[in-house]
Amino acid sequence: MGGTQRPTIKTVAARAGVGRTTVSRVVNGSDLVSDKAKAAVLAAIAELNYVPNSVARGLVTNRTNSVALVIPESESRLGSEPYFSAVIRGVSTALATTRTQLQLVLVRDQAERDQLTESVAERRVDGVLLVSVHEHDPLPGLLEDMGLPTVLAGRRSRAESLSHVHSDNAGGAAAAVTHLLARGRRTIATITGPLDMDVSRSRLQGWRAALEEAGHEIPEHLVASGDFTEEGGQAAIRSLLGRVPALDAVFVASDVMAAGALAELRRQGRRVPDDVAVVGFDDSIIARHTNPSLTSVRQPVEEIGTTIARILLEEIADPQGPRQHVVLPTELVVRESS
C-alpha cells in the first residue's frame, strides 16, 4: 500500500481481483454477487482494514447520501431570524445518527435557483428540505415535477400536494387574541407577515376567528402588513397608531416584528402593557430579552426540523409512499408585555 494511505474501493477491488461495482454490492449486502467473489472481497476488506464510504455505496444504490436544506432568503434574514437556526438544529439532530450529509443552500436570485435546479437534475442530492415557502415560488413545483423527494417546512396553500410540516398557526393566533380579550383589551390590531405565505395568512385567519367568536367586528384598518423583519414591525405599528390612535393591543405574527413594534411604541411614549399590550409568535430567544419580556405563541421549531428530516428520509427510502401532512401544536407563553 505504501505508507498510511487510506485504502479505497479501487484498492479493495484490485486486491480481491474483482470490479469496483462488485465491491460496492458486497458492502451494501446485495445478493447479486457469487459466493466466491463475496469471500474474496470480504478477505480484502479485512486485510486492508477498509471502511466503506458513501461514494462506494452510491455505485449500487445510486444515492449520494446527502440532502439539501434550501432557504430562499438572504443572509441577513437567515442571521436575524431565530426560526431558521432552530430548524437547522432540528434537521441536523435528525440526521446525526444517519450517514446522510446536509447541504445548506441559500436561493436568493434566479442564478442560484438555476444552479440548484442543475444540481437536482444531476441528482447530486437525494432529496430537498424547503423552508420559508412562498405561494408562487416555482421551486416546489419544479422539484415535484423532477420526481425528487421534497418536504416543506410550511406549505404553499391548504391544497399543498408535497409532504409538509407546520405549526398550528391559526390556533396559536386565536389563543393569543383570546388572551388579549381576557385581559380586557377591545381594540386589538394585528401585524401580519408577507401575505404570499400560508403561515401569514393562517395567523391572520386565527386573529379574525377569535375576534368574530367574541362578537367583535373586523375592521380592516386594524390590519397592517409586515415582512417578518424588525424594521417591518416598526413601520407597521407606526401605521396602525396613525390610523387607530386608541388601539390597546396588537398581535404580531413574529417575535422579530414584535421587537420592532415594542421599540416604536416606546419611542412614541406608549407604555407596554398599560397602554398597549403586545403578543408575538415563535417564543424565540428574542421574547425573553425584550423590554418588557414578550408574551408569545410557542411553536416547536426544532421539532419541525426533525420532523421534515425524518419524513424526507422515509420518502427517499420509499418514493412511492404516501405524502405526509403534519401539524404540530402551539402554546401561549404569557410574560410582561400583556
Q: Which of 19, 42, 61 is the last residue of a domain?
A: 61
| Residue-level pLDDT at 277 | 98
Whether the Cβ atoms of residue 167 and residue 83 lie closer than 8 Å to each other: no
CATH of the domain at 145: 3.40.50.2300
Kindly state whether residue 26 falls inside one of the protein's structural domains: yes
| Residue-level pLDDT at 75 | 76
| Residue-level pLDDT at 195 | 96
Residues 185 and 293 in one domain: yes
Whole-model pTM? 0.80
Residues 221 and 257 in one domain: yes
Bridge-based pairing state of the strands 331-333 and 101-106? unpaired
| Residue-level pLDDT at 52 | 62
Listed range (45-49, 132-136, 242-246) with the worst mean pLDDT: 45-49
Residues 182 and 286 in one domain: yes
Give the percent of the chain with pLDDT over 70.
Answer: 93
- Mean confidence (pLDDT) of the chain: 90
Residues 16 and 102 in one domain: no
Which set of grid coordinates corresponds to residue 1?
500500500
| Residue-level pLDDT at 105 | 87
Residues 84 and 163 in one domain: yes
| Residue-level pLDDT at 158 | 93
pLDDT at 249 over 90: yes
Kindly state whether residue 338 falls inside one of the protein's structural domains: no
pLDDT digits (tens, 9 = 90+) for 306-315: 999 999 999 9
Residues 162 and 308 in one domain: yes
Residues 78 and 103 in one domain: yes
Structural domain span for residue 265: 169-298
Residues 147 and 71 in one domain: yes
pLDDT at 175 over 90: yes
Q: In 3D, which of 251, 336, 235 has the Cα closest to residue 295? A: 336
Kindly state whether residue 154 falls inside one of the protein's structural domains: yes
Q: For the chain, how many structural domains are there in total?
A: 3
Q: How far is CA 114 from CA 108, 139, 152, 180, 231, in A?
A: 11, 10, 19, 46, 31
Segment 45-58 shows an average pLDDT of: 66
The C-alpha atoms of residue 233 and residue 225 are separated, in whole angstroms, by 9
Residues 174 and 148 in one domain: no
Segment 267-294 shows an average pLDDT of: 97
Binned at pLDDT 50, 70 and 90, residue 33 comes out as confident
C-alpha neighbours within 13 Å on the C-beta side of residue 37: 19
Per-residue HEC secondary structure of the chain comes to CCCCCCCCHHHHHHHHCCCHHHHHHHHCCCCCCCHHHHHHHHHHHHHHCCCCCHHHHHHHHCCCCEEEEEECCCHHHHHHCHHHHHHHHHHHHHHCCCCCEEEEEECCCHHHHHHHHHHHHCCCCCEEEEECCCCCCHHHHHHHHCCCCEEEECCCCCCCCCEEEEECHHHHHHHHHHHHHHCCCCCEEEEECCCCCHHHHHHHHHHHHHHHHCCCCCCHHHEEECCCCHHHHHHHHHHHHHHCCCCCEEEECCHHHHHHHHHHHHHCCCCCCCCCEEEEEECCHHHHCCCCCCEEEECCHHHHHHHHHHHHHHHHHCCCCCCCEEEECCEEECCCCC
Segment 62-70 shows an average pLDDT of: 85
Residues 57 and 44 in one domain: yes
Residues 174 and 260 in one domain: yes
| Residue-level pLDDT at 2 | 43
pLDDT digits (tens, 9 = 90+) for 226-243: 999 999 999 999 999 999
Residues 283 and 183 in one domain: yes
Kindly state whether residue 335 falls inside one of the protein's structural domains: no
| Residue-level pLDDT at 51 | 65
Q: Please write down the long-range contacts of 99-104, taking CB distance under 8 Å and 24 or more positions apart.
A: 99/54, 99/57, 99/65, 100/65, 100/66, 100/67, 100/126, 100/313, 101/54, 101/65, 101/66, 101/67, 102/66, 102/67, 102/68, 102/69, 103/66, 103/67, 103/68, 103/69, 104/68, 104/69, 104/71
> Rg of the chain over CA atoms, in angstroms?
26
The C-alpha atoms of residue 28 and residue 26 are separated, in whole angstroms, by 5
pLDDT at 109 over 90: no
CATH of the domain at 32: 1.10.260.40
Greater pLDDT, 148 or 214: 214
pLDDT digits (tens, 9 = 90+) for 84-104: 999 999 999 999 989 899 998
Whether the Cβ atoms of residue 329 and residue 168 lie closer than 8 Å to each other: yes
Q: How far is CA 79 from CA 74, 75, 76, in A?
A: 9, 6, 5
pLDDT at 32 over 80: no
